Amino acid sequence: MATTTLHAIRVPPKISMQVSPPAFSPLLAICLLLSPWLTSCSSDPDLVVYVSLDQEFSAPLIKEFEKETGLKVRAEFDTEANKTVGLSRRLIEEKGNVRCDVYWNNEIAQTIRLAHLGLLQAYDSPSAEGIPAEFRDPDKRWTGFAARARIFIVNTELVPDHSEIDSMWDLIDPKWAGKVGMARPLTGTTLTHAAALYQDQVLGEEEASRYLRAIADHQSEDTPPIQVVSSNGQLMRLVREGVLAWGWTDTDDFNVARLAGSPVIAIYPDQKPGPNGEEPLGALMIPNTIAIPKGAPHLDNAKRFVDWAISREMEERLAHSPSAQIPVRLDVEAPEYVRREFKTMRVSYVALGQQMQNHVETLKNMFLIR
């Protein structure tokens, strides 16, 4: 926002002496003094972007876009507790009266759901060159870039021998009761992760329900076997502070703890073959996605922002940023601490987005209605 200088208002003495108190109240004086600032704030932006990528990571980049282009951007961010769900719901509610020009989502399933509902428009950005097909909508309504992985964050002071943790099923092993946790799977990447487990090529409905019910059960107890918390960030903080020994989070939250010098390591789960030689289940990779809503008020500027956000340069910057995003393009440079060689979970992102709402209702019944 441009800085506005407030000028003192000079009132001629003769006039001020003859103004009655009701006409010249303190409230009126304040309004007059602030009117230039209020006018500046109410001026229309050149672009409105809804952003669910953590504000601490995305806001500085958006400021740079403003500086590079001269465009004024109004960025509206999701809260950590409502991550991705709040802004997606708002876009659904705004159908026919769209305020948003670009939706920058830090996961993929909610974006695909919006496309399935017919709320996104196609844009084949030239900056998408080199992005693998699995991260692009065939109809060009969304594009994936700069991913994160679902991993375990482990406190090495509490778990010196971390070699005994290598599978998602270790979380529900009774020997870890009271020492592990995860975020409630109703928003953000935790919701995407939980929903992915239901796919037949991952666990299937029966095994996914068994795993998730083992986590949801006993939450009313003073010390539940698996602590269910409000967000991935909170889980990360509990582990790095030694309240919990380990649990599920994302690679960006882990990297925040790593940069702070916390005694933590990241374990990418399910990298080994099964007992009968089955293919490893792998770690779920979740890209950022970007899309333009149908009816975006500033379409040309929206396309310009999309071109900038999914460029090779931006993927490289996000890889080197504190969020340590994983480039989806193999030819984009990343620092050594951004792990790229690991077995990824085989999921259908399109099916995941289309079936998301059904999974939401199932998970609410597990984790909210007890």
User: Quick check: 290 pLDDT over 60?
Assistant: yes
- Most confident of the following: 81-85, 102-106, 358-362: 102-106
- For residue 213, the model assigns a pLDDT of 96
Distance of CA 345 to the CA centre of its chain: 19
pLDDT band at 312 (very low <50, low <70, confident <90, very high): very high
Could you report the per-residue pLDDT of 43-73, keeping only the tens digit for each? 789 999 999 988 888 999 999 999 999 999 9
Out of 246, 261, 283, a domain closes at 283
Look up residue 209 and give its two tokens. Answer: 């329900």
Determine the structural domain holding residue 110 and report its residue range: 47-147+286-336
108/114 Cα distance (integer angstroms): 10
Range of weakest confidence among 87-96, 203-212, 235-244: 87-96
Check whether residue 250 and residue 165 sit in a common domain.
yes
Check whether residue 223 and residue 161 sit in a common domain.
yes
- For residue 19, the model assigns a pLDDT of 39
Check whether residue 165 and residue 139 sit in a common domain.
no
Could you report the per-residue pLDDT of 165-218, keeping only the tens digit for each? 999 999 999 999 999 999 999 998 999 999 999 999 999 999 999 999 999 998
| Residue 140 lies inside a defined structural domain of this protein | yes
- For residue 369, the model assigns a pLDDT of 57
CATH of the domain at 228: 3.40.190.10
| Residue 328 lies inside a defined structural domain of this protein | yes
Check whether residue 204 and residue 90 sit in a common domain.
no
Out of 261, 283, 305, a domain closes at 283
Could you report the per-residue pLDDT of 162-171, keeping only the tens digit for each? 899 999 999 9
Look up residue 218 and give its two tokens. Answer: 């006993």
| Residue 32 lies inside a defined structural domain of this protein | no
| Residue 4 lies inside a defined structural domain of this protein | no
CA dihedral 199, 203, 206, 207 (to 10 degrees): -150
Of residues 231, 281, 275, 274, the one with CA closest to residue 256 = 231
Out of 247, 265, 283, a domain closes at 283
317/62 Cα distance (integer angstroms): 13
User: Quick check: 252 pLDDT over 90?
Assistant: yes
- For residue 6, the model assigns a pLDDT of 36
Of residues 1, 174, 252, 294, the one with CA closest to residue 302 = 294
Domains held by the chain: number? 2
| Residue 355 lies inside a defined structural domain of this protein | no
| Residue 143 lies inside a defined structural domain of this protein | yes
Check whether residue 266 and residue 292 sit in a common domain.
no
Check whether residue 206 and residue 95 sit in a common domain.
no
User: Quick check: 24 pLDDT over 70?
Assistant: no
Check whether residue 175 and residue 230 sit in a common domain.
yes
User: Quick check: 42 pLDDT over 70?
Assistant: no
Check whether residue 79 and residue 110 sit in a common domain.
yes
Check whether residue 228 and residue 244 sit in a common domain.
yes
- Other C-beta atoms within 10 Å of 189: how many? 26
Check whether residue 307 and residue 187 sit in a common domain.
no
H-assigned helices in the chain: 13-17, 26-42, 55-69, 85-93, 109-116, 188-197, 205-216, 232-240, 251-259, 299-309, 312-320, 349-354, 356-367
Whether the CB-CB separation of 283 and 270 falls below 8 Å is answered with: yes
Residue with tokens 């500085």: 60
Could you report the per-residue pLDDT of 150-161, keeping only the tens digit for each? 999 999 999 999
Check whether residue 274 and residue 299 sit in a common domain.
no
Range of weakest confidence among 87-96, 174-183, 299-308: 87-96
Check whether residue 231 and residue 305 sit in a common domain.
no
- For residue 80, the model assigns a pLDDT of 56
- For residue 139, the model assigns a pLDDT of 96
| Residue 7 lies inside a defined structural domain of this protein | no
pLDDT band at 275 (very low <50, low <70, confident <90, very high): confident
User: Quick check: 294 pLDDT over 70?
Assistant: yes
pLDDT band at 370 (very low <50, low <70, confident <90, very high): low
Contacts of 158 (CB under 8 A, 6+ apart): 179, 242, 245, 246
| Residue 298 lies inside a defined structural domain of this protein | yes
- For residue 31, the model assigns a pLDDT of 41
